[in-house]
A and B are shown apart, each in its own frame.
Chain A
């Protein structure tokens, strides 16, 4: 059974700061890693899908990397804005057998 961990659990940054958080996993025996952004009272929104041989993904000020050898993925936000405040989830697709979410990192960007 895949176990997905995320750190930190929560994070407070000032507007304009750049930040990053981690999704870690014990084994690279999965098909793809997904990052989601989940705002309060809304539904999770897909950010990136990363495959094992994939490159860095980027969408505006947000980017993600995957290091299967070391067992982690980083999500970076450059120049955080208050609207970036949300919970960021990573999830692993276990070869179509299961879909395992991490507990999330709650980001608060203070104006």
Chain B
């Protein structure tokens, strides 16, 4: 158990809908990262927050947005969902901002868009 929690574990929704994925980092960690793993693809970095502020952006679509709240939990919002958005979405947390800190991954949320 990494100490990172993600909810829900599974999510099934229809095209065009909007969903919110939630992540609670390990106690004391200030950085939260979001990743997407689609079928037959590797892990793709989406976005990073540090202490409430967006710090880095990867291959995140404009239909996706995220935020980190004062209690440091984070939410990833996916809207106008398409079939291709079906994937496993991971959240990870680390102690600090710099890349020298290990990232601890949550169990993931599996999103299925039908």
A interface residues, Cβ below 8 angstroms from B:
30-32, 34, 42-46, 49, 51, 89, 91, 93, 95-104
A43-B106, A44-B90, A96-B98 as given contacts; A101 in contact with B56, CB under 8 Å: no
Which one of B15-23, B42-50, B67-75, B77-85 contacts A?
Answer: B42-50
A99-B48, A99-B56 as given contacts; A45 in contact with B105, CB under 8 Å: yes
Minimum CB–CB distance from B103 to chain A (whole Å) comes to 6
Is B25's CB within 8 Å of the partner chain A?
Answer: no
- Tally of A-B residue pairs with Cβ under 8 A? 61
State which of B45, B100, B103, B107 has its C-beta within 8 Å of the C-beta of A98.
Answer: B45
For this complex, into which size category does the number of interface residues on chain B fall?
20 to 34
State which of A34, A43, A96 has its C-beta within 8 Å of the C-beta of B56.
Answer: A96
Is B58's CB within 8 Å of the partner chain A?
Answer: yes
Which residues of chain B have C-beta atoms less than 8 A from A99's C-beta? 33, 45, 48, 56, 58, 99
Is B10's CB within 8 Å of the partner chain A?
Answer: no
State which of B90, B102, B108 has its C-beta within 8 Å of the C-beta of A49.
Answer: B102
Give A101 to B38 CA distance when docked, in angstroms: 14
Minimum CB–CB distance from A99 to chain B (whole Å) comes to 4
B interface residues, Cβ below 8 angstroms from A:
2, 33, 42-45, 48, 55-56, 58, 90, 92, 97-108
Give A91 to B48 CA distance when docked, in angstroms: 15
Which residues of chain A have C-beta atoms less than 8 A from B92's C-beta? 44
Minimum CB–CB distance from B32 to chain A (whole Å) comes to 12
**Contact call A98/B104, Cβ cutoff below 8 A:** no
Closest to B4 in A: A43
Which residues of chain A have C-beta atoms less than 8 A from B33's C-beta? 99
Closest to A30 in B: B99
A32, A34, A46 pick with most chain B CB within 10 angstroms: A46
Shortest beta-carbon contacts, A-B, top 6 = A93-B99, A46-B102, A43-B105, A32-B99, A99-B45, A101-B43
Give A107 to B42 CA distance when docked, in angstroms: 16
Give A21 to B5 CA distance when docked, in angstroms: 31
**Contact call B103/A34, Cβ cutoff below 8 A:** yes
